[in-house]
């Protein structure tokens, strides 16, 4: 009788303990579930933001898209007074200023990247890389300010005059020398994108296996021959990716360009002349745009910028990722 | 023998060419770094004269009047960036945590991809977006709109650095915690995020440095304000927009103020960058 009672108490205790454990497990699973839901929701906001970005720009530019259609992209009348808008001068300005920037920035960035990865000893390379990174940290409004008062006048007095004297037979180097214009904007952009291109290139060159370099040296190659035989071919895909990434930066850069390009919606053959880019015209005119069609046309410019930016960025990242992939594929 | 003489001459040529090309790379590095020192030099020479006590405590002076400061813009930048952090940092860290804990999942690859794409979106486009979803419905420019625009730029930066740091935390740490019976969510928050805290803080500070220097997304969100305002519903002046406005003005007094503002702005941004690198020891890779 007594022992009977004992077992049933023990059984009850066991049951209670089992139930308590079960509840605790449930509470824990509940906590995990809430936690997972919260993080997945936070992660999803990024997808939502990107989607909302595209949708808002498309919806807001619909009036302009419907009115002008594809001719928006190929006509060059930008006339807020008569509510007629064509984006060609800005597309031209964006393409040309970015082209000037890349023409200067690509060789310079390759030079910097090779110097950091192949020439400089480790301690120096890290410090130089740090300084190049600082160049990327300077706000673009500061670049713009410096370009208005220092770089622009210097280019006008020294570079434009010699280009005009010696290469003046080319139509792109004709016309009056002014401190604000396409050339100044291109040079500022070049200075601004070099840190981006060179830091990706440096990373890419550092991924080149040491064995490739040693093999080239063992064949009797000089350092430069080693670079051409081993480093450049191996990193080519990544370098192209870096250049496209830099191009994406240059296309979208707004403030520094708006400050020095002169903001005139015209296509002129001379690089000394003022121009405007997609981003600079938005910065200049958006807050003052009065008619709905005007705002809509400006937003459509933003939509063009967004589309081109996304495409370039995706291509660039795929190319850079391909290099890293190949490296790690070989090591496996 | 003839061959060796010939190849010797050849070698001298090849060596000279190599030295020349490698010298060119060094020259490229020097020329690239030149603007950094020129800009810093000009900022100090042209800006330092106008940075005085009044610059931090006074309001902007009207055209033609000497003196004045950027007190409203400095407070505005602090406020706009602080609110942007309140929105962007928890969102970014949470999203980064999700990406790090579900690395293989297809959905997290999609989010990672979206974050990378967002980093490539020109900041002026973000400004238009916020104009469409915040400024227009609210009926006017406001500090909060500027903060949201900066938060949108911060989120992908914080997300990706958080993910990259958390992935570096040894797996054993997580396993040890789980083996002790700590629930997964506690493990993530108290063990993983805690261990990754300094790295995450580095990423956050670099993101702050990046957005504090942004002008384009503020032009038609926070807009600017000639008066002192701390209200989130009113337009607010920021250092970057103020420097922009003064720099393109034709008045020498304002241009001087622009140099001073640019100096203060650059000092803030570089102090954040340098400070982070100093504390984390050595040049950490920044989140570009």
Domain assignment of residue B102, yes or no: yes
Domain assignment of residue B285, yes or no: no
Averaged pLDDT of chain A: 90
Buried b (16+ CB within 10 A) or exposed e, A14-46: eeeeeeeeeeeeeebeeebeebbeebbebbbbb
Alpha helix stretches (DSSP H) within chain A = 2-68, 71-74, 88-114, 122-137, 140-146, 152-154, 161-167, 182-206, 210-218, 223-226, 232-252, 255-260, 278-285, 292-331
Residues 6+ apart with CB under 8 A from B33: A128, A131, A132, A135
B90 and B29, same domain (yes or no): no
B255–A contact, CB cutoff 8 A: yes
pLDDT of residue A2: 55
Locus of tokens 């939509």: A303
Report the SS3 class of residue B190. Answer: helix
Q: Give rounded-to-5 percent helix, strand, coil for chain B.
A: 75, 0, 25
Q: Select from A32, A36, A132 the Cβ nearest to the Cβ of B32.
A: A132
Q: Select from A129, A139, A286 the Cβ nearest to the Cβ of B266.
A: A139
Domain assignment of residue B28, yes or no: yes
Rama region for B283: left / alpha / beta (φ>0; ψ in -120 to 50; rest): beta
B155 and B72, same domain (yes or no): yes
B195 and B88, same domain (yes or no): yes
B173 and B202, same domain (yes or no): yes
B43 and B89, same domain (yes or no): no
Read off the CATH number of the domain in which B228 is found. 1.10.3720.10
Average pLDDT over residues A102-117: 96
Report the SS3 class of residue A85. Answer: strand
B281–A contact, CB cutoff 8 A: no
DSSP 8-state symbol, A78: E
A255–B contact, CB cutoff 8 A: yes
pLDDT of residue B3: 45
Domain assignment of residue B22, yes or no: yes
B99–A contact, CB cutoff 8 A: yes
Residues 6+ apart with CB under 8 A from A242: A109, A196, A197, A200, A201, A204, A316, A320
Q: Which of B207, B215, B239 to mutate to test the interface with A (most CBs of A within 10 A)?
A: B215
B30 and B83, same domain (yes or no): no
Residues 6+ apart with CB under 8 A from B66: B253
CA gap B28, B23 in Å, rounded: 9
Contact A191 B35 (CB under 8 A): yes
Q: For the segment B208-231, what is each residue's pLDDT rounded down to a tens digit?
A: 999 999 999 999 899 888 888 889
Q: For the segment B181-202, what is each residue's pLDDT rounded down to a tens digit?
A: 888 888 988 999 999 998 999 9
Average pLDDT over residues A76-80: 90
pLDDT of residue A30: 84
Higher pLDDT among residues B213 and B281, named by residue? B213
Residue A330 pLDDT level (bands cut at 50, 70, 90): low
B31 and B167, same domain (yes or no): no
Residue A24 pLDDT level (bands cut at 50, 70, 90): confident
Locus of tokens 């009348």: A77
Higher pLDDT among residues A198 and B66, named by residue? A198
pLDDT of residue B185: 87
B42 and B139, same domain (yes or no): no
Average pLDDT over residues B252-276: 92
Domain-terminating residue out of B34, B50, B66: B50
Contact of A163 with A173, CB cutoff 8 Å:
yes
Residue A90 pLDDT level (bands cut at 50, 70, 90): very high
Average pLDDT over residues A31-57: 93
Domain assignment of residue B286, yes or no: no
Q: For the segment B48-70, what is each residue's pLDDT rounded down to a tens digit?
A: 988 888 888 888 887 777 777 88
Neighbours of A321 (CB within 10 A): 14
Average pLDDT over residues A168-177: 86
Contact B111 A131 (CB under 8 A): no
pLDDT of residue B96: 94
Domain assignment of residue B287, yes or no: no
A47–B contact, CB cutoff 8 A: yes
pLDDT of residue B126: 96
Instruction: Give the residue numbers spanning the domain of B32.
Output: 2-50
B158 and B25, same domain (yes or no): no
Q: For the segment B102-142, what is each residue's pLDDT rounded down to a tens digit?
A: 888 899 999 999 999 999 899 999 999 999 999 999 988 99
The count of domains in chain B is 2
A317–B contact, CB cutoff 8 A: yes
The answer on pLDDT for A153 being more than 70 is yes
Contact A255 B244 (CB under 8 A): yes
pLDDT of residue A225: 92
- Judged by CB atoms within 8 Å, which residues 164-203 of A form the interface with B? 191, 194, 196, 198-199
Averaged pLDDT of chain B: 89
B180–A contact, CB cutoff 8 A: no
Average pLDDT over residues A261-287: 92
The answer on pLDDT for A85 being more than 50 is yes
B42 and B78, same domain (yes or no): no
Domain assignment of residue B254, yes or no: yes
The answer on pLDDT for B1 being more than 70 is no
- Judged by CB atoms within 8 Å, which residues 291-310 of A form the interface with B? 298-299, 302, 305-306, 309-310
B42 and B158, same domain (yes or no): no
- Judged by CB atoms within 8 Å, which residues 4-43 of A form the interface with B? 28, 31-32, 34-36, 38-43
Contact of A57 with A243, CB cutoff 8 Å:
no
pTM attached to this predicted model = 0.90
Extract the tokens encoding B270.
């570089």
pLDDT of residue A327: 65
Contact of A53 with B129, CB cutoff 8 Å:
yes
ipTM: 0.90
Q: How far lies A104's CA from each of A55, B182, B188, in Å?
A: 36, 56, 47
B139 and B123, same domain (yes or no): yes
CA gap B47, B255 in Å, rounded: 10
CA gap B156, B138 in Å, rounded: 26
Extract the tokens encoding A107.
């060789």
- Judged by CB atoms within 8 Å, which residues 101-160 of A form the interface with B? 107-112, 114-116, 118-119, 126-146, 148-150
pLDDT of residue B2: 44
Most confident by average pLDDT, A186-200, A227-241, A303-317: A186-200
Domain assignment of residue B123, yes or no: yes
CA gap B95, A41 in Å, rounded: 8
């Amino acid at each position: 009788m007594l022992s009977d009672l004992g077992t049933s108490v023990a059984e009850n205790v066991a049951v209670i303990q089992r139930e308590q454990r079960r509840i605790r497990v449930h509470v824990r699973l509940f906590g995990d579930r809430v936690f997972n839901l919260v993080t997945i929701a936070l992660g999803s906001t990024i997808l939502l933001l990107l989607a909302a970005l595209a949708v808002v720009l498309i919806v807001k530019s619909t009036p302009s898209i419907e009115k002008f259609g594809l001719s928006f992209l190929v006509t060059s009348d930008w006339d807020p007074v008569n509510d007629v808008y064509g984006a060609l001068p800005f597309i031209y300005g964006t393409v040309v200023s970015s082209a000037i920037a890349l023409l200067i920035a690509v060789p310079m960035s390759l030079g910097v990247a090779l110097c950091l990865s192949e020439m400089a000893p480790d301690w120096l390379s890290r410090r130089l890389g740090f300084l190049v990174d600082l160049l990327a940290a300077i706000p673009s409004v500061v670049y713009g300010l410096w370009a208005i008062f220092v770089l622009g006048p210097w280019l006008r007095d020294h570079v434009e005059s010699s280009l005009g004297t010696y290469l003046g037979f080319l139509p792109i180097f004709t016309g009056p020398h002014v401190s604000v214009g396409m050339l100044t904007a291109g040079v500022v952009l070049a200075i601004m994108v070099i840190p981006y291109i060179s830091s990706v290139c440096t990373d890419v060159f550092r991924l080149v296996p040491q064995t490739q370099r040693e093999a080239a040296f063992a064949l009797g190659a000089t350092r430069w021959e080693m670079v051409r035989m081993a480093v450049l071919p191996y990193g080519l895909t990544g370098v192209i990716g870096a250049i496209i990434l830099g191009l994406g930066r240059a296309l979208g850069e707004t403030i520094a360009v708006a400050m020095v390009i002169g903001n005139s919606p015209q296509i002129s053959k001379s690089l000394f002349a003022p121009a405007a880019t997609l981003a600079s015209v938005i910065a200049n005119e958006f807050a003052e745009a009065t008619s709905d069609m005007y705002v809509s046309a400006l937003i459509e410019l933003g939509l063009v910028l967004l589309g081109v930016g996304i495409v370039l960025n995706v291509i660039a990242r795929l190319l850079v990722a391909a290099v890293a992939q190949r490296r790690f594929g070989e090591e496996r | 023998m003839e061959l060796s003489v010939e190849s010797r001459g050849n070698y001298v040529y090849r060596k000279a060419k190599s030295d020349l090309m490698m010298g060119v790379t060094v020259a490229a590095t020097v020329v690239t770094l030149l603007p950094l020192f020129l800009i810093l030099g000009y900022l100090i020479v042209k800006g330092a004269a106008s940075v005085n006590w009044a610059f931090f405590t006074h309001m902007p002076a009207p055209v033609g009047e000497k003196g004045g400061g950027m007190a409203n813009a400095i407070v505005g930048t602090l406020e706009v960036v602080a609110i942007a952090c309140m929105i962007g940092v928890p969102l970014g860290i949470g999203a980064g945590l999700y990406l790090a804990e579900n690395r293989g999942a297809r959905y997290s690859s999609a989010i990672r991809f979206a974050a990378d794409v967002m980093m490539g979106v020109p900041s002026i486009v973000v400004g238009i977006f916020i104009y469409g979803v915040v400024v227009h419905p609210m009926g006017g420019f406001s500090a909060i709109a500027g903060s949201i625009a900066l938060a949108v730029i911060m989120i992908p930066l914080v997300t990706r650095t958080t993910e990259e740091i958390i992935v570096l935390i040894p797996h054993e740490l997580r396993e040890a915690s789980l083996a002790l019976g700590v629930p997964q969510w506690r493990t993530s928050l108290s063990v993983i995020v805690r261990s990754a805290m300094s790295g995450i803080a580095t990423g956050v500070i670099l993101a702050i440095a990046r957005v504090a220097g942004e002008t384009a997304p503020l032009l038609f969100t926070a807009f600017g304000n000639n008066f002192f305002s701390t209200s989130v519903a009113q337009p607010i002046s920021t250092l970057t927009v103020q420097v922009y406005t003064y720099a393109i003005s034709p008045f020498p007094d304002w241009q001087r103020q622009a140099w001073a503002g640019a100096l203060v702005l650059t000092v803030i941004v570089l102090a954040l960058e340098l400070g982070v690198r100093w504390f984390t020891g050595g040049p950490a890779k920044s989140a570009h």
